[in-house]
Chain A
Amino acid sequence: MSVDTATVKRVARLARIKVSEDEATRMTGELNAILGFVEQLDEVNIDGVEPMTSVVETTMKKRADGVTDGNKAADITKNAPASEDNFFMVPKVVE
């Protein structure tokens, strides 16, 4: 499978990364090189093979559904580029 520049732009939009026309053209070539490389996997017979989920047999760890952490809003917003009263500030979303 290969991608064209329109697909690269659509995927970049999905990934929320702005790309210029030049970048989209360059990336189309690079992405096709990678997609061409992974095409080798088509040779492998995977009939009846389960996808790998863990290295050793393990059961999913569970814990009680209780509050064990919290009350650190100031810590969480401390690194934000814009915050006020422990809220994240973003450009206006609703009119």
Chain B
Amino acid sequence: MTDLTKLTIAEAREGLKNKDYTSTELTEAFLGNIEQANGALNAYVAVTADKARQMAKASDDKLAKGEGGALEGIPLGIKDLFGTEGVHTQACSHILDGFKPAYESTVTANLWADGAVMLGKLNMDEFAMGSSNETSYYGDVINPWRKKGSNQDLVPGGSSGGSAAAVAARMCMGATATDTGGSIRQPAAFTGTVGIKPTYGRCSRWGVVAFASSLDQAGPIAHTVRDSAILLKSMASVDPKDTTSVDIEVPDYEAAIGKSVKGLKIGIPAEYRLDGMPGEIDELWQQGIAWLKDAGAEIVDIAMPHTKYALPAYYIVAPAEASSNLARYDGVRYGLRVPGKDIVEMYENTRAEGFGDEVKRRILIGTYVLSAGYYDAYYLKAQKVRTLIKRDFDLAWQNGVDAILTPATPSAAFGVADQDLHSDPVKMYLNDIFTVTVNMAGLPGISVPAGLSSEGLPLGLQLIGKPFDESTLFQVGQVIEDAAGSFEPEKWWG
């Protein structure tokens, strides 16, 4: 019998419809893989096996009658940031100990309405703050990929490290993720998977634990460009419960896949070529350019002079918004409470014990830049710099550019507990240098696996699109996928 966990969502959709197998069989296969792999990889923080079986059974009943939604019977993993009714929802923080919401986030509700099956909740950096999935209260996620001939544990990237690792190791067919500065695209690049952050306002933020509200967006991680298009179609919606949800109908993203890119104008920004960047990242980029040229796209050089200011501006905007959003964790309404001699000491003790170091660092930076007298010098200035970053992109679109091609990350996956990266917080932040511009401008960006490093680790290319033009990213992304092929880690776990 074929290994059901090796199927893509598109293939399983056909197989379920044709009754080649049932959702129950599919779900059991993934639960088996989770059981076998989770001890080594730590991708799941809660496995909802009973719920998964119930949902699979309900899907099978529908499928037997020839009914069912776009994702009927497809088993998915859900990042711990999404509110799931009655199920572990803690943003992988100690401060939300035991929290089980009485509501369902709009994104996950959309998936369940389309028939998807929930396997469990996925590990992540605490409150989505991190680029290596080493800030989770539930421990590090381990990348299923290893360097050739090495036993060293590598990080899966972050903050959606559990989502990326679970997809790469076949512990779910696809996963939900979120991206505030690169948290979908960087882990996708580190694990040989596809990840798309849609335009700000495309997926509802309702019921998703907030980090930086003007930057946060949900999106999928999956094996193929087509699978990510299928998932995004279901996750995205116009939601009256989120005032930043934009009133634009969700198109059929799959319709864009397979369309020729002949005549499309692809912009190449020289500012994404960094000093000291490994040569193989540049080679990968040149390879991507060559593939798109061969497919008939027109390659044009573009200027993005404000690129280098995106990351510093991000480290004002994101902590400022986080310090405000995380003020709600006070030991009163949910989660952890650590007693004190009075209510203020109770707040201080709770937050000291409940938050990890990276979260504390960002709350303090945010509190500082928003404190009396500093608002204009920091937050307001950073928001003005955002306008300039967005203007760089607007100029490219005005000049007829259809999408922009860049590397996804400045390196391949690095080792767990890397001393150099942990010696200085800014070094870790530099992981997001190519992805963060996209969040600052609110644009859609997709990371597509494009090759392996000399050490045998996956590398990704990023495509950046016009607002609400995710379709073009899927169209161009498919061309890269067709040229590059797919990448599967060698199984060493379980």
Contacts and interface: CB of A to CB of B under 8 A. Distances in A.
Interface of A: 1, 3, 7-8, 11-19, 27, 30-31, 33-35, 37-41, 43-44, 46, 49-56, 58, 60-61, 63, 72, 75-76, 78-82, 88, 90-93
A60 B347 contact: no
User: Max chain A CB contacts within 10 Å: which of B246, B333, B364, B441?
Assistant: B364
Interface stretch (B72-80, B338-346, B478-486): B338-346
Nearest to B354: A17
A19 B348 CA distance: 9
Contact of B334 (A43, A63, A79): A79
A29 B153 CA distance: 29
Contacts of B269: none
Contacts of A19: 352, 360
A90 B343 CA distance: 7
Nearest to B341: A91
Interface of B: 98-102, 199-201, 240, 243-244, 246, 306, 308-309, 311-313, 315-316, 323, 330-337, 339-340, 342-349, 351-352, 355, 360-361, 363-365, 367-368, 371, 377-378, 380-388, 390, 424-426, 429, 441-443, 467-468
Nearest to B370: A14
B483 to A, nearest CB: 31
A33 B323 contact: no
A-B pairs with lowest CB-CB distance, top 3: A55-B442, A51-B383, A81-B337
B102 A75 contact: yes
Given A30-B361, A91-B346, 7 more contacts: A8-B364, A38-B315, A41-B316, A43-B309, A52-B386, A81-B336, A88-B333
15 contacts: A16-B348, A18-B348, A18-B352, A19-B352, A27-B361, A34-B426, A40-B308, A51-B380, A51-B386, A52-B383, A56-B468, A79-B101, A80-B332, A88-B333, A93-B343
User: Max chain B CB contacts within 10 Å: which of A16, A53, A58, A63?
Assistant: A16
A54 B247 CA distance: 14
A56 B245 CA distance: 11
B58 to A, nearest CB: 25
A34 B348 contact: no
A38 B425 CA distance: 13
Given A17-B355, A33-B426, A56-B468, A41 B387 contact: no
